[in-house]
């Protein structure tokens, strides 16, 4: 699959919020790099947990991707996003790499400004605790 095909699958996930669709996109040995957790989170269950929490916390009605940069040779893309979270403007990027099977291999999130990072950290922490049950 091309990066553009992979992006279509990623964007389709945002349209229907199908948890199964998200799990199907993630490689078993995927790695997630959080803007607030110091160590990479490895393995499909961890990556799915973080991305599922982000779906709930960040992907609200104000969330939108505003720019995409695609590197077909490296099989990766950078997607800039914006949203409002409790009145705080959040700007960030998702840097996504896919393996040869079209599965997400590496997912890195970067967020700015500092006030937004603090808010994301607070809300994601609460959601991850809630998801643990």
Determine the Cα–Cα distance for residues 20 and 37; give it in Å rounded to an integer: 25
Beta strands in the chain (DSSP E): 26-33, 41-42, 64-71, 76-85, 88-98, 104-112
CA 38, distance to chain mean position in Å, is 16
CA dihedral sign of residues 8, 22, 30, 36: positive
What is the model's pTM?
A: 0.91
pLDDT digits (tens, 9 = 90+) for 59-105: 889 999 999 999 999 999 999 999 999 999 999 999 999 999 999 99
Ordered domains of the chain (ranges, CATH): 3-132 (3.10.450.50)
Identify the three-state secondary structure at position 35: coil
Mean pLDDT computed over every residue of the chain: 92
């Amino acid at each position: 699959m091309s990066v553009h095909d992979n992006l279509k699958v990623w964007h389709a996930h945002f349209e229907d919020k199908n948890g199964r669709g998200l799990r199907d996109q993630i490689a078993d040995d995927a790695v997630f790099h959080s803007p607030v957790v110091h160590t990479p989170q490895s393995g499909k269950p961890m990556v799915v947990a973080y991305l599922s929490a982000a779906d709930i916390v960040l992907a609200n009605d104000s969330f939108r991707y505003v720019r995409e940069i695609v590197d077909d040779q490296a099989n990766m893309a950078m997607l800039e996003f914006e949203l409002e979270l409790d009145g705080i403007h959040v700007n960030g990027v998702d840097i996504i790499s896919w393996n040869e099977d079209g599965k997400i291999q590496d997912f890195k999130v970067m967020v700015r400004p500092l006030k937004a990072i603090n808010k994301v950290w607070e809300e994601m922490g609460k959601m991850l605790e809630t998801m643990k049950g």
